[in-house]
Chains A and B, each alone.
Chain A
Amino acid sequence: MKSFKLVGLALLWLGLVGKEHNQNPLFFELPLQIEDSFERIEMAELMEEGFIEPISLALIRDSERPLFYESTIRTTVCDDEICEIMYIKLYWDLVGDYVGYDTVAMHPLTKFDHEPFTENDYSKLHELLSNDGSILKFKQKSELIDKEKIKASDVVDGTTGATALEIKDEVVEGALYSSYTLWHLSHSGKIKNMINDHTEKLYNSLLKEDFITSGRTGYKYFVIQRLTDQDYISDTDLWTDLLINDIPLAKKKILSSLPDILLDKESVQLELVTLFSSLDVNSRTILLNRLQRVPIVYQATLEELSKSISFMNKNQTNVFLSLVEGKLFEGDVLVTNMKNAIINSKFVYGYLIEDFIRINYED
């Protein structure tokens, strides 16, 4: 165990070569509160193919809660012929998402021609590592170089046209293999799993509250995945807030997980359909599909939902029409809203409603 100082927020830049070990990381994107000392707990070791020694993962925590994970890595970076040793420290948040990196004292990052990284190179590397959809994800190491363009004089690590064109913009110039190796480490599924498993053991109400208020997508999703039926029943504010503010994947999870007993209630149906127009297109579909499966869709629910017809696409309109079938009475709000939808020039599926009324109520 050892303690060290971590100060401040993201994107810190403090000079490079020979910097002291316990200074602020070069890049670190967790908005941590300033603390005098953090505790470092060795967590696990992991051996990856091609590594010269196991990767040691450590949890950093303060006196109350876990904060993040880190690993100081010594690995070889090789092309077909030459290998070099690279030292680097990587940081992940509590659910295994990359949040930053740092150099190791006396070991600045270098390119394959032994030139040290420039300030821009360091920034570019962080930008690359922060991109979980990088093209490097799809590439085998053998695909990094466009072999047909290599000439004898070319530097093999791709400062020339030898780097496959589609990759060139995404990597640190002259450090192709380092970029590749580090991206795959930062986004290693094994590491993410180990971190999640470890955080799971530490998960408690304090951490849950921290995660909910963190503003971090991954943290909130971690909580959502662990909500029980009882959580949904007892904490409506929590899931409705997430339903309004979180990413579509989280909304999908919440709408799919809402217990039937909750969805059978008129108040809950109303709460949900009131949100309809603010939901993303897929969440709207899930909500409509769930309403199709409940025993009773209340008239008040349908009336509220009918205010949002103009936000429905073709198939959603058809589901809505299946919900109102047999429940239309001349003069009520539902019928009025449907008629308004037909003449709304911004709603393009009015013809579906017209056809529906003609077939079901006129023919």
Chain B
Amino acid sequence: MIYRIATFLLVSFFSFQLSFAQRVLIEAESFDDPGGWVVDPQFVEQMGSPYLMAHGMGTPVANAHTKFKLDEAGEYHIWVRSKNWAPGDWEAPGRFQVAINGQTLPETLGTTPGWSWEYAGKVSLKAGATEIDLIDLTGFNGRCDAIFFSTDETTPPRGNAELATWRMKESNEASSPEEVLEFDLVVVGGGIAGCASAIAAAEQGLKVALIHDRPVLGGNASSEIRVHTLGIYGHFERILRMLDTEHYPNGSPEAYQDEIKRHKNVEKYENIHLFTNWRAYDANTNGNRIESVDARHTSEGKRIRFVAPRFVDSTGDGWIGFWAGADFMYGRESVDTYGEAYEEWGELWSPEEADDFVMGSSVLWRTVKADASTDFPEVPWAEEVAQSHEATEGTWKWELSRLDLHQIDDAEEIRDHMLKAIYGSFANAKKTEASKDLKFEWISYLIGKRESRRLVGDHIFTFNDVTDLRKFEDSVVMEIREIDVHYQQNLTDEGKPDFLSEAIFYKTPQYYIPYRSLYSKNIDNLFMAGRNFSCSHIGLGGPRVMRTTGQMGAAVGIAAVICEKYGIDPREVYTDHLEEYMALIKAQKTYNTIAPKK
């Protein structure tokens, strides 16, 4: 077990006397035993770090526990970085305490709005083995980012930039990763698109790194989020059948079976080097080229630099492109930007003026019948969101998009808003006779995003490509699924809860996405596959589902093979080797040669 602990001797002067401050920073996600707490790395870019969360669905979870060696005895002030995620005129829902060497500190934590260092108390500690327990008091998503011990009384910094510098210093972290690995292709994001990309490239002999920030593959299709895959297979049925799901109801635990299949299929490729629980945090560029991507283990904190001639951004949020300076889009384009009117739906489909009313994020959940009547606590902090809405399960319609909320920058607030909606709606339902035996079976703590950044390619796929039934010489993805964009129900009926959406469909026989939408316009060696491909907001409406994004993944995996063969960039596959590329794409259906397997 690796601790991210650093002890410093800091010199300060008081009345001409020299004193020494002992300081120890413990990252919560690095605990030896998280107990019932979960590691949540979704919001690193916004709040600075993965954190531990007591996701007990209303029942306090088992203690998280760790042990570290304290170098010096002393009187230590202890701060805990936490957040009251539902502040208001009530007791904070995510309350917890800290125990040091079995002694519970009196302060209740998780009570301050916004991420901040809460003072937990002062303890006299001996040098040597020191134990910490996080004691959840509620089961309602208390969260702990880090614990800081110091003989000095100075509170650690609160602001993000200042905190990041401080954290690096306290952790004694070098500016670049300790380990450097080289690959033929680095795929970042292990959703269906990323997995398909890795398989397609590996089958043709490329040495591929597949980096994913969760323990399991599949992204929105994983057992952690549980959205079923939709769309057709296109040219890639053989690959996508290794990865997709049955058409079970969203949220179904049947997702586990498909996940086992998915892992088995990805892991059988010897030249796919799987890095689960690694989250990319930077892309290092030279001019318009990415030279490497840096990633950090989500709990151990170790870092690796991944070097490759080409990269696939299948992060969903377009992080690799964003860090590398790729052109990207966010929000709904105005109706005139690409001429995407759907007359009968007007503003709900495509606004007169561009805005940020993108398709929202969902949090799925399920309840199950217990053997007997069960109680559920009062949740006053959820009432302002749930109001009088009653529900015993979530569907795709549980979705949040709001003009003031950015799907990336405000993702934690969106997730928390959905948690309030779920807890509050279930608490309302529990007051009825029909639901007295129900209890939560599962609530995802990961948000399932539909739309975020879209990286700009040589072609921007729009509604017109669908309505005009355009075929391209480089059509590598095909789809028959309707264009399907969402809007919030409360836009047309203020009485509706703000967390429910509605869909608008445009039915179409078949449409195609060109390869030119799958590589960056201005970053020479960057592919993209998944919802961050090059498209307009409306263009995303149809192909955002996971068999279709899987097609994109497979298509760029094969393009990477052509790139490797000729030592070229993605664009040149289109300009110089299209015939060979398309032949290879079309051969996928009957392709039998699989790269070396374990």
Query: A346 — nearest CB in chain B belongs to which residue?
Result: B89
Which of A1-9, A263-271, A348-356 forms contacts with chain B? A348-356
A189 to B482, CA, bound (A): 15
Contacts of B158 in A (CB 8 A): 355
Contact between chains at A285 and B403 (CB < 8 Å): yes
CB of A282 closer than 8 Å to a CB of B: yes
CB of B347 closer than 8 Å to a CB of A: yes
CB of B503 closer than 8 Å to a CB of A: yes
Contact between chains at A256 and B493 (CB < 8 Å): no
CB of A313 closer than 8 Å to a CB of B: yes
Contact between chains at A348 and B403 (CB < 8 Å): no
**Closest Cβ of chain A: how far from B396's Cβ, in Å?**
10
Report whether over half of chain B's contact residues are helix, strand or loop; otherwise say mixed: loop
CB of B498 closer than 8 Å to a CB of A: yes
CB of A108 closer than 8 Å to a CB of B: no
**Closest Cβ of chain B: how far from A69's Cβ, in Å?**
14
A314 to B351, CA, bound (A): 25
**Closest Cβ of chain A: how far from B404's Cβ, in Å?**
4
CB of B494 closer than 8 Å to a CB of A: yes
Contact between chains at B344 and A193 (CB < 8 Å): yes
- Residues of B77-92 at the interface with A, using a CB-CB cut-off of 8 Å, are 87-89
0/1 per residue, B446-465, Cβ < 8 Å to A?
A: 00000000000000000000
Which of A117-125, A169-177, A247-255 forms contacts with chain B? A247-255
Query: B396 — nearest CB in chain A belongs to which residue?
Result: A138
Contact partner, B491, options A249, A286, A313, Cβ 8 Å: A249
- Residues of A301-352 at the interface with B, using a CB-CB cut-off of 8 Å, are 313-316, 345-346, 348-352
A247 to B487, CA, bound (A): 14
Query: B86 — nearest CB in chain A belongs to which residue?
Result: A348
A189 to B489, CA, bound (A): 19
CB of A137 closer than 8 Å to a CB of B: yes
Contacts of A247 in B (CB 8 A): 491-494
- Residues of B98-116 at the interface with A, using a CB-CB cut-off of 8 Å, are 112-114, 116
Query: B406 — nearest CB in chain A belongs to which residue?
Result: A315
Query: A137 — nearest CB in chain B belongs to which residue?
Result: B505
A313 to B403, CA, bound (A): 11
Contacts of A352 in B (CB 8 A): 114
Contact between chains at B403 and A286 (CB < 8 Å): yes
0/1 per residue, B339-369, Cβ < 8 Å to A?
A: 0001111111001110101000000000000
Contact between chains at B404 and A351 (CB < 8 Å): no
CB of A126 closer than 8 Å to a CB of B: no
- Residues of A190-220 at the interface with B, using a CB-CB cut-off of 8 Å, are 192-193, 196, 217
**Closest Cβ of chain A: how far from B247's Cβ, in Å?**
10
Query: B351 — nearest CB in chain A belongs to which residue?
Result: A256
Contacts of A225 in B (CB 8 A): 346
CB of A83 closer than 8 Å to a CB of B: no
Query: A197 — nearest CB in chain B belongs to which residue?
Result: B343
A225 to B343, CA, bound (A): 13
**Closest Cβ of chain B: how far from A202's Cβ, in Å?**
18
- Residues of B452-502 at the interface with A, using a CB-CB cut-off of 8 Å, are 489-494, 498, 502
CB of B402 closer than 8 Å to a CB of A: yes
Contact partner, B344, options A96, A315, A350, Cβ 8 Å: A96
Contacts of B348 in A (CB 8 A): 249
0/1 per residue, A18-45, Cβ < 8 Å to B?
A: 0000000000000000000000000000
Contact between chains at B492 and A256 (CB < 8 Å): no
Contacts of A15 in B (CB 8 A): none
CB of B411 closer than 8 Å to a CB of A: no
Interface centre among A217, A281, A282, A346 (most CB of B within 10 A): A282
CB of B405 closer than 8 Å to a CB of A: yes
A198 to B553, CA, bound (A): 47
Report whether over half of chain A's contact residues are helix, strand or loop; otherwise say mixed: helix
- Residues of B567-590 at the interface with A, using a CB-CB cut-off of 8 Å, are none
Contact between chains at B353 and A256 (CB < 8 Å): yes
Contact between chains at B344 and A217 (CB < 8 Å): no
**Closest Cβ of chain A: how far from B416's Cβ, in Å?**
11
A362 to B225, CA, bound (A): 45
A133 to B413, CA, bound (A): 28
Contacts of B351 in A (CB 8 A): 256
CB of A260 closer than 8 Å to a CB of B: no
**Closest Cβ of chain B: how far from A350's Cβ, in Å?**
8
Query: B348 — nearest CB in chain A belongs to which residue?
Result: A249
Contacts of B402 in A (CB 8 A): 281-282, 285
CB of A280 closer than 8 Å to a CB of B: yes
Contacts of A96 in B (CB 8 A): 344
**Closest Cβ of chain B: how far from A322's Cβ, in Å?**
13
Contact between chains at A138 and B89 (CB < 8 Å): no
Query: B506 — nearest CB in chain A belongs to which residue?
Result: A189
Contacts of B267 in A (CB 8 A): none
Contact between chains at A349 and B113 (CB < 8 Å): yes
Contact between chains at A253 and B404 (CB < 8 Å): no
Contacts of B343 in A (CB 8 A): 189, 193, 196
0/1 per residue, A277-292, Cβ < 8 Å to B?
A: 0001110111001000
Contacts of A192 in B (CB 8 A): 344
Contact between chains at A282 and B113 (CB < 8 Å): no
A26 to B405, CA, bound (A): 45
**Closest Cβ of chain B: how far from A44's Cβ, in Å?**
15
Contact partner, A280, options B87, B410, B494, B505, Cβ 8 Å: B494
Contact between chains at A282 and B403 (CB < 8 Å): yes
Contact between chains at B88 and A348 (CB < 8 Å): yes
Contacts of B502 in A (CB 8 A): 133
Contact between chains at B492 and A217 (CB < 8 Å): yes
A138 to B483, CA, bound (A): 11
Query: A315 — nearest CB in chain B belongs to which residue?
Result: B404
Contacts of A217 in B (CB 8 A): 492
Contacts of B89 in A (CB 8 A): 345-346
**Closest Cβ of chain A: how far from B407's Cβ, in Å?**
13
0/1 per residue, B223-255, Cβ < 8 Å to A?
A: 000000000000000000000000000000000
Q: List 26 A-B contacts (CB under 8 A).
A: A189-B344, A189-B345, A193-B344, A196-B343, A217-B492, A248-B491, A248-B494, A249-B348, A249-B491, A253-B347, A253-B352, A256-B352, A256-B353, A280-B490, A282-B402, A282-B491, A284-B404, A285-B404, A314-B410, A314-B413, A315-B410, A345-B89, A348-B87, A348-B88, A351-B112, A352-B114
Q: What residues of chain A have their CB less than 8 Å away from a CB belonging to chain B?
A: 96, 133, 137-138, 189, 192-193, 196, 217, 225, 247-249, 252-253, 256-257, 280-282, 284-286, 289, 313-316, 345-346, 348-352, 355
Nearest first, the 3 closest Cβ-Cβ pairs linking A and B are A348-B87, A189-B344, A285-B403
Q: A193-B343, A280-B494, A348-B87 are in contact. List 6 more A-B contacts (CB 8 A).
A: A196-B344, A248-B492, A281-B403, A281-B404, A282-B357, A351-B112
Q: What residues of chain B have their CB less than 8 Å away from a CB belonging to chain A?
A: 87-89, 112-114, 116, 158-159, 342-348, 351-353, 355, 357, 402-405, 410, 413, 489-494, 498, 502-503, 505
